[in-house]
Amino acid sequence: MSTDADAIRHWWRTSIIEMEPGKIAFRGTPIEELIGNVSFPQMIWLMVRGGTPSEAEARLFEAALVAGVDHGPQAPSIAAARMASTCGLGLNNAIATGVNMLGDVHGGAGEQCAELYYDISRRLDEGTVLINAVQEGLDNWRSEYGKIVSGFGHRFHKPTDPRAPRLMALVRAAASEGTVSGRYTDIGEAVQAELGRARGTPIAMNIDGATAVIFCELGFPSPLSRGLFCLSRSVGILAHSWEQMNQGGRNKGPMPPRFLPEYDPEDHSE
């Protein structure tokens, strides 16, 4: 082949997949050896970071994937996907509509929380004691993201998001069995304690705080806390899009047609 061909092939180089006619291999393993032999969570792991988790690691990973699948039609991502599926779009477009909305505010909390945990961990590595590392980590995090710490508290599930204690119990058990180190579990709980202490009343860890603990324990870089959440939430987005298709409706708006948006003559656009 010419150097031009090499250049264009190199432009699209990848370590994930090797393909030739009749051959598909992922990170070195032929697909036919993976099908039926690895679980779907193991395959996700292999694809996004390489390697194969142990059974125990895969179970913990799987719990986090199961936990985040849905938060109902009050969530803009779910509502939008349901509306999309009444506009003459395919399920692929409806899923994309929902996933696209998982931006910094709607889907970024896990990633932001993982950044906090990793930052505290680095401070521990440098010899700072836990309580100081937590306080310094929080200060540093808030200088970038603001006062409200992602992963803690919930505007809806008060006092407790039922997913978080269950996930924390599983990761605690995994730490006691040696599956994970427990470092980020300690960090997460220390952050929770510090936040409660500072405001004078306990605060709950939410699902983003708990899944970030798990993804950090398993060694996933922080942006993947968001990426993996997107895979998880895609399940609920698909389920709701499909339910809406079966309910029917055409051009479903946010409220029944007899309710009209309020017209407010004063311009608030600037």
How far apart CA 99 and CA 79 sit, in angstroms, is 12
Q: How far is the CB of 76 from a second copy (least distance, A)?
A: 4
What count of other Cβ atoms lies within 10 Å of the Cβ of residue 1?
7
Which of 53, 57, 84, 110: binder of a second copy (CB under 8 A)? 84
Between 28 and 127, name the residue whose CB sits nearer to a second copy. 28
Nearer to a second copy, 127 or 144 (CB): 144
Q: Which of residues 129-148 bind a second copy (CB under 8 A)?
A: none
Can residue 122 be called a binding residue for a second copy (CB under 8 A)?
no
103 binds a second copy (CB under 8 A): yes
Site pattern 219..238 for a second copy (x: CB under 8 A): --x-xx-xxx-xx--xxx-x
Q: Work out whether 172 is an interface residue with a second copy (CB under 8 A).
A: no
Shortest distance in whole angstroms from residue 1 CB to a second copy: 7
Task: Give yes or no for residue 54 binding a second copy (CB under 8 A).
Answer: no
What spatial distance separates the first Cα and last Cα of the chain, rounded to whole Å? Answer: 57
Smallest distance, a second copy to C-beta of residue 52, A: 13
Kindly state the tokens that stand for 249.
């409706």
Q: How many angstroms separate the CA atoms of 202 and 110, rounded?
A: 21
- Site pattern 175..214 for a second copy (x: CB under 8 A): ----------------------------------------
Select from 54, 72, 197, 198 the one that contacts a second copy (CB under 8 A).
72
62 contacts 83 by C-beta, under 8 angstroms: no
Q: Residue 17 — left, alpha, or beta (φ > 0 → left; ψ -120 to 50 → alpha)?
A: beta
Give the residue among 181, 214, 183 at the shortest CA–CA distance from 113. Answer: 214
Specify whether the backbone of 133 is left (phi greater than 0), alpha (psi in -120 to 50) or beta: alpha
